[in-house]
Structure formats: structure tokens, C-alpha cells
A and B are shown apart, each in its own frame.
Chain A
Amino acid sequence: MLDKLKDFSSRFFVTGEPMIYGADVAILLTLAGIIFVLTYLKKWKWLWREWLTTVDHKKIGIMYMLSSLLMLFRGGVDALLMRIQLAFPQWHFLDSNHYNEIFTTHGTIMILFMAMPLMFAFFNIVVPLQIGARDVAYPFLNAVSFWLFFFGAMLFNLSFVIGGSPDAGWLSYPPLSGMQFSPGPGQDFYIWGIQISGIGSLASGINFIMTILKMRAPGMKLMHMPLFTWSVLASCIIIIFAFPVLTVTLALLFIDRFFDGHLFTMTGGGNPMMYINLIWMWGHPEVYIVVLPAFGIFSEIVATFSQKKIFGYKSMVFSMMIISVLSYFTWVHHFFTMGAGANVNVFFAITTMAIGIPTGVKVFNWLFTMFRGRIQMTQPMLWTIAFIPCFVVGGATGVMLSAAPADYQYHNSYFLVAHFHQVLIGGVVFGFFAGLYYWWPKMFGFKLNDRLGKWAFWTWNIGFYVCFMPQYALGFMGMTRRIYTYDFDMGWGPLNVISTVGAFFMGIGFIFQAWQILHGIKYGERDVTGDPWNGRTLEWSIPSPPPHYNFAVIPTVTGQDAWWTIKEERKKKKAKETAVFSPIHMPKNSGIPFIMSVFWFIAGFGLTFHWVWMAIFGLTGVGACLLARSFQYNSDYYIPVDEIRHTEDSVGRVG
């Protein structure tokens, strides 16, 4: 019995590496610490009532943000470990298997558990406020989305200490990801971690399309919407078409692994090329899913801090819509080298290049928004200005990659690695950082320190170029991605050392940002106006942080830049109109999203280890939660006028 137990635990827990034991201890200590603090301060009830059961889009947004910053930390540590291993030829820091796990989890975490949730954080925090709504269209579903993402991410991260991490690359091509070559539970952690959070992403896509189409303040026509809201709409349209593809693809991969299917192995008449096509039919649009909202953020920031209307609004909307359609017609450029034939390659090369056109137009429109404006060098604006050259160069290397025969030489090389990091960091990460600095006062009611912010900005930027410019060169030198070591005679050593140094600079930048947040909590300059940047859109018309119901009175919109227009009118009239309050209809909190996601987690864990009893238990729990919800009739309430008046009074907005 004891031997059996020993044998089981040696397979169940990841063993062998001192680093892993260190992580085990750290995880246990952190957990114990959290439990102790919550118990000591008697905060359990508070945690449950205010956060775990909330359906408030602002709180859900904040939880998305915190989890994605944690994931950014984990993915970043992965990146630094890889860079240490690659710094010198034939270096022994990580062995091959460990390195393979780390680059796999780095990619998966950064895209699915960092970029996506950070993007959803902005959707949640900003969209209802920008369109003058009191919540999203389906607040309960919104909570379900968040908790599914959260437990999916937890399941994926668990593989680090239990069972072993996936190690077949972030898109897990079969046959490598099949049972024959990846027998452990790592791949199943990958499948179920992504599946569970993917359901949440799909639901969010539907939720925000409905929110934008149905919940806008009276008078706000589609062509009056702020550009960030437009970008969310474009992104969500891609989500609802792309994520089902991902779900089906991973389900098929699981059928191959669990039921010994042959969908993706040639020996049974299946075909691995099918998987590669399917996964990129999701994977390529996914890139645009995360970058379009970043474009939206830049558009808001550029207009605000140039103190000028956005240039070419219609052109901006049009180009985003073109991008969201074109993004479906480029997926084959991820495998020009699969030998699909000249006709196919030419078609997809040209569609890929074509996406550069609307993207380029956006860059010009941002530039000409600044032209004849008055540019304020605030933190959000710094990141926006840094984004432009970074993204333009990254876009140019993208166009270079799209020329199919040239891609035969770049494919799977460090040139490619440098390119996609440049557009993803320069576009998405810089964009989301700009957004964080921009909307931070709105979320929390205080600004972040400028001095620390500048340090973070410069270390990040210098670090970025030092890290990734040498990688373009390494690509030209023939260095392929995903190798854990290389020989002295290739001459790749010096540039790799430089690249590693750059990566550490970015790591230092992240530390500055963490410091900045802690500093802000203690000393941050309070924002009492609700409009610290002299903003143009409706989120700046309400107090920071916004009251539970957002708008005491829903504003009426007459054109673009609604809040700017209202401010101009107020200047002219001088007299303030008195608001008449009426009771506000709000959704009630619910514990079901959290509990249901815990059951999903249990089911996912069971499926990962192929323990059918556990999977059935988890899925039954999920079903029970759905049933319980469908019998819940009392799910909303009204905030009385007195309470609204009281709240508005307390933030200095007398009705």
C-alpha cells in the first residue's frame, strides 16, 4: 500500500528539480499567508460578498487585471529563464525537457492568460462607462466568464507542480502532442486549461457585442461611439467566430488522446495538417483580437493628450472593420512551408500584405491627430508615442515575412520570434500599459507616480530593443526557435548575450511598475474631479472610482466625444441643470458563477488525469449549478432614490 502511494505520488507531483521544490514551498507559503491574513483580519465574508460573488463589471474588470498581471509575472519569469539558458553556447542551466516546458507555458500564458484577460479587464472597466450604461448586457454571464478564465488559468498553472507541464509548443502540433510522443498529463492540462477559459472568452465576446449594440445611452449612434468601443466591437466579432474553432480543435485533439482517435494521425486516415490549419484559423484572428483593442486605446489616448479630435474617425472605424474581416483570410501564412502549392501561398501572401494597408492608415491617422494639436507628455502618451515606431518596424518585418518565398527563409527562425514579439509587445503590451496608466485613476481614484513611471518606461523600451533587435540578426544567421542550446562555431553567442541583457531590462521595468502600484496605493495623488486628463468620453463624466451604479442619471448623447461636448455646453451656459433621480435597476450578486467554475476545475482536473469518476462528478456539479440558476427568479433589485442621493452627495455631486 505504502509503496503504491509512493509510486503514485512520484508520478503525480513534479519532482527532481530544486527550482520546482522552491516553487512548491513558495506556493504553500503564499497560500498559508493569504489564508492567515484573511482569517486574522476577518475578511472572509468581505471577500465572498464583495468579490467572489460580484456581478459588477468594474470589480470583475479589476479581478481580470490583477490575475493577468500575476500571469505576466509568471510568463516573464519563464522568459528570463529561457534567456539565461540561451545566453551562452552550450550552457547548462536548464535541460532540454525543462526548457521545452518553459517555452510552451511562456507562449500559452502570455497569449491566453495574460493578453486576453488584460484585454477583458479593459472591456469590463471601460465599455459600459464609455457608452453610458450601468452594467454589461448579461452581468451574471460576465461573472461566469471571469471565473471560467480564472480556474482555467489555475488548472494550467497547476501543471507546474503536479503532473508536469505541457512541452509541445504553445500550439501543440500533433503528432508531437499526441499520446505517442507526449504521454504525460501535460498536454491534457493544456487542453483543459484552455478549453475552460475559452468558454469564458466566447461568452465575453457575445456579452460585449450585446452590450455595445443594446446598452448605449440615448442618442449615441454607432458612428458616435468612442473608438475604443468600436475596437471592442471589432474584436468581439472576431472572438465569436474564432473561439468556437479553438474549442472544436482542442476537443478533437482530446478525442485523439483519450479515445485513441486518429483525427490528426495519418495512420488512421486522419491528417495532422488539418490540426495546423484549424488551430491557426483561430490563432491568427486571435492576434487581431488582442491588438484591435490596443488600437482603440491608442486612439483614445492620442486624442485626449493632443487635446484635439481624433483624425479621420470614419477611416479608423472602416479600417478596424476591414482588419476584422481580413484577419480570417491570412492563417496559411503561418505555414507557407507546409508545401500547400504556389497558388495557395500567393493568395495568402497577398491577403496578409493587404492587412498592412488598413493598419498603416491607422498609424497615419494617429500621427495627424497629433499634428496641429498640443501634445501632453503624460505616462499614457509616452507609451503611445513609443508604440508607433515599434509597431511600424514590427509591421514592416511582418510585410517582409508575408512574402512567401522569403518566409521559407524566415520561418521558425529568430527573425520570426523577433517579429511577433515586436508587434505583440510593441502593440499589445505597450497598448495595454498605456491603457492601464490612462484608466488607472478612473478604476481606483488615484494617479500613479510619474517619476517611477518614467523609469519603468525607459527600462522597458531600452530593454525591448536590446532584447529583440539582435534576434532579427540571429534569424539571418540561421538560428531556429525552440532550441535549448547551440554550438560555439555558429557565432550566435554574442548577440544572444545582448538579447538576454535586454530581457532583464524589461524585467526591471516590470519591477518599477509593481513598485509604482504599491507606491500609488500609499501616496498616490487622489483624483477628486473624476476627470483628471480633461477627457472627451463619458467615463470621465462620473466620479473616480465610479459609484456602484455608474451613472446617477443616464446622459443623453448628441455626437462624438460626448463628455467634451457636455463640458463645452456647460462653459457656455454656466448654470448647472439639476438632476432628477429615479430608482436604479441593478442585478443581484450570485455565488453560482464561482461555484460552477470550481466544478469545471474539478472536471478539468479529472479529465486531465483521465479519472472518469472525477470528471463525471465535476460535470454533474456544473449541471446542478446551471439548474439552480434557472430556478432563481429573484435576481435583481432597485436602488432607492435616497441611497443614490446619499452616494452622490458623498462624492460631492449634489443632485
Chain B
Amino acid sequence: MHIGKLIILSIFITIFLAGCDSRYLILNPQGAVAQKEYHLIIFSIFLCAIVVIPVLGLLVYIVLRYRDKPGNKAPYRPDWDDSKRLEFIWWGIPIIIIGILGFATAKTTYDLVDPPKKDVKPLTIEVTSLDWKWLFQYPDQNIATVNYVEIPKDVPVQFVLTSDAPMNSFWVPQLGGQLYTMPGMAMGLWLQADRKGEYFGSGANFTGEGFAHMNFKVKSTSTKEFNQWVKQVKETAPALTKADYNSLAKQGLSLEKSYSTIPKGLFQEIVIKNGGQYYSQHHHMKNEDMKTMNVASDEQTHTQHEHQEGGK
């Protein structure tokens, strides 16, 4: 029994002391979004502790004091079953705590809708989760990468997410929380890196056989280095053709890749192919930031229909 307690204690200590370790990605935020989420996490731990610690203390005290053993002098009142004052306290305190936490949660939720910085022109990256790899397209730079992504630090990045495979989730813990990638939809997620570095990213929603291998690297550099990298990719990498994309989209794993140009409208085509036209009919795409998502233009939809019918 004592050994058991020791083991438990040592595990707790390992976990909490290890929190300072840089491998605890969520506890080492590297960007404004992750920072806000981290603050909320710490705040919620603190609020929970206000209830949890006294309850645990009370449990130990009560169990030790009121054990049924001969000679126990503690009071015994078998019919005492009601106290309005006590009940008022333990209905009241949790309500207050939940109120505070609810307020903090609401504030952070609304905060995260907007880009972390408003005075810097954001970068847009279109993300497609495939079986079982990630395709990143830079519409403004007209380049693309697979399984790695490079971003300039201190610049808000809007990741526009979709999927050409089962639903996945795009997650870079040190830069911020995740958002689902869903076929036929394009959703925006703001992230930003505050310093240079390499961050771990992964697909967080199960998609079958190769799911465990859907990790990618996020590298943040200075704006200058970023521009150099774009230039280098443009000069050295091959172009991404439709045929390349079709073979990428097949089930299988992939190494890191770079492409110097992307087929025009590929991302929109992916969204529409998976049913985007139905979705945009029913949901006004409220996010004005999705400038890349002017996909509901009749012309494209029309072409797509013809394409599908032709395919049959």
C-alpha cells in the first residue's frame, strides 16, 4: 500500500516537474494563438484546483475521523441528513467558479476568431489533407509543398483547410489548437509563430491505415529567409501538374516535397469536387478572409458539373 502511494506520488512529480521540459509542446507555446490557449489552460487548472484540493482534503479527513472502530470519539449522528446552509455553499461556489471560467472561455473564443495581429498583412496557405499526407499551397507565392510548411515569424498565417480524403484535423500544438479538415468545405484557422524554430504538426483525426504517419514540420523563419526560400523553391523545384496531384491524392505515404508552381484553381477544384457547391449554397461563407474561396462562381460550378457528368 505504501509502495503504491510512493509510485503514484513519484509519477505525479515526474509529470509536473517535467512540465518545464520543452517536449511538453502545449505548455511551451511559440505563438500568440497558442499563448492565449495556454493562458486559458493554466487559468482553468487554477480554478479547478480551488475545488479539487479542498475536496480531497475533506475526503481524507472524513474517512480518517469517522471510521467505525471501537473507541472512536468523533460524533455519530445517524439521522443528520440536511443542512440548508451547507447545501447553499456547495451549490453556490461551483456556480461562481463556472461563471468565471465561462466568461474567460467566451472571451478567448471570440478573441481567436480574429487574426492575432491586425497591422501586418497576413499570409494565406491552403491546406489539403490527403490519404496520408499533407499538401500545402501558397496561392500568393504560387508554390506548394508536401508534408512540410514554411512560414515567416511575426506574420499571422491563415490556414485554409480542406480534405480530399476522410476528415482529418490540422494541429500544430506549439502554434495553436486544431481545426478539422473536411471534404467539400474550406475553413480558416489563424496561427502565428513568434520566433524562429521548427515545430511538430500532425493530423489529429483518425483517417485509416496510414494515419499515424501524417506528421509534418512547420518551420518559421525571418521574413527575409522566407522570401529567399520561396525564391529557391521557384528556381529549383519541379512544377505541380494535375497528374502529379492525382498521384499524390492516391492512398499512400509521401516524403517532403516542393513544387515551383501550382495548377490554377486546384484548391477550389478540390473543394468543389467533394461537394463544395452544395455546401456554399446552404451556408453563406461568412468568413471574408476566405478570399480564396470565391468558389461558388457559377462558371466554375458549371464546369465542374460537366466534368462530373463526363466522368460517368
- A contact set with B: CB distance below 8 Å: 96-97, 100, 167-169, 173, 175-176, 181, 265-273, 306-313, 315, 335, 337-339, 342, 345-346, 349-350, 353-354, 356-357, 360-361, 363-364, 367-377, 385, 388-389, 392-393, 396-397, 399-400, 402-409, 411-413, 458, 461-462, 465-466, 469-470, 472-473, 475-478, 480-487, 490-491, 498
Contacts and interface: CB of A to CB of B under 8 A. Distances in A.
Interface of B: 1, 4, 7-8, 11-12, 15, 18-19, 21, 23-27, 34, 36-37, 40-41, 44-45, 47-49, 51-52, 55-56, 58-59, 62-63, 66-68, 72, 74-83, 86-87, 90-91, 94-95, 98, 101-102, 104-106, 108-113, 166-167, 169, 171, 173, 176-180, 182-185, 187, 200, 202-212, 215, 273-276, 278-279
Contacts of A350: 98, 102, 105-106
B23 A477 contact: yes
A353 B78 contact: no
Given A353-B101, A482-B206, 5 more contacts: A361-B87, A373-B76, A392-B51, A409-B176, A473-B18
Contacts of B110: 342, 346
A406 B41 contact: yes
Given A360-B94, A465-B8, A374 B68 contact: yes
Contacts of B94: 356-357, 360-361
A271 B23 contact: no
B81 A373 contact: no
B66 A306 contact: yes
| Ranked 8 nearest A-B pairs via Cβ | A408-B177, A266-B275, A266-B184, A483-B212, A176-B166, A396-B48, A374-B68, A309-B81
A207 B34 CA distance: 50
Contacts of B74: 372
Given A360-B51, A406-B41, A476 B180 contact: no
A346 B67 CA distance: 45
A167 B206 CA distance: 10
A309 B79 contact: yes
B218 to A, nearest CB: 12
Contact of B15 (A339, A393, A473, A480): A473
Contact of A405 (B40, B51, B68): B40
A346 B212 contact: no
B169 A337 contact: yes
Nearest to A412: B204
A100 B183 contact: no
Q: Is the interface of A mostly helix, strand, loop or mixed?
A: helix
A271 B37 contact: no
B132 to A, nearest CB: 10
B101 A403 contact: yes
A339 B105 contact: no
A480 B241 CA distance: 33
A360 B101 CA distance: 16
Contacts of A487: 215
Contacts of A473: 15, 18, 24
Nearest to A269: B278
Nearest to A182: B208
Nearest to A404: B109
Residue picked from A100, A273, A337, A342, most chain B C-beta under 10 Å: A337
B109 A339 contact: no
Contacts of A413: 204
Contacts of A475: 26
Given A96-B209, A399-B44, A485-B212, A388 B59 contact: yes
Contact of B66 (A309, A364, A373): A373
A327 to B, nearest CB: 16
Contacts of A375: 62-63, 66-68
A85 to B, nearest CB: 11
A498 B7 CA distance: 11
Contacts of A337: 169, 177-180
18 contacts: A100-B209, A167-B208, A266-B184, A269-B278, A271-B279, A306-B66, A311-B82, A335-B180, A346-B109, A350-B98, A372-B74, A385-B59, A399-B48, A405-B177, A408-B177, A482-B206, A490-B23, A490-B200
Contact of B44 (A345, A374, A400, A472): A400
Contact of B102 (A96, A169, A353, A481): A353
Contacts of A406: 37, 40-41, 44, 105, 177
Contacts of B209: 96-97, 100
B7 A266 contact: no
Contacts of B12: 469
B52 A338 contact: no
A229 B180 CA distance: 42
Nearest to A167: B208
A310 B177 CA distance: 44
Contact of B77 (A266, A372, A470, A490): A372
B8 A466 contact: yes
B206 A96 contact: no
Given A311-B81, A374-B68, A269 B275 contact: yes
B59 A367 contact: yes
Contacts of A168: 206, 208
B183 A266 contact: yes
Contacts of B184: 266-267
Contacts of B212: 96, 482-486
B70 to A, nearest CB: 11
A480 B204 contact: yes
Contact of A408 (B49, B82, B179, B215): B179
Contacts of A270: 275
Contact of B166 (A181, A312, A361, A405): A181
A399 B12 CA distance: 20
A371 B62 contact: yes
Contacts of A368: 83, 86
Contacts of A309: 78-81
B15 A472 contact: yes
B55 A392 contact: yes
A420 to B, nearest CB: 15
B63 A370 contact: yes
Contacts of B66: 306, 370-375
B142 to A, nearest CB: 27
B187 A339 contact: yes
Contacts of B45: 400
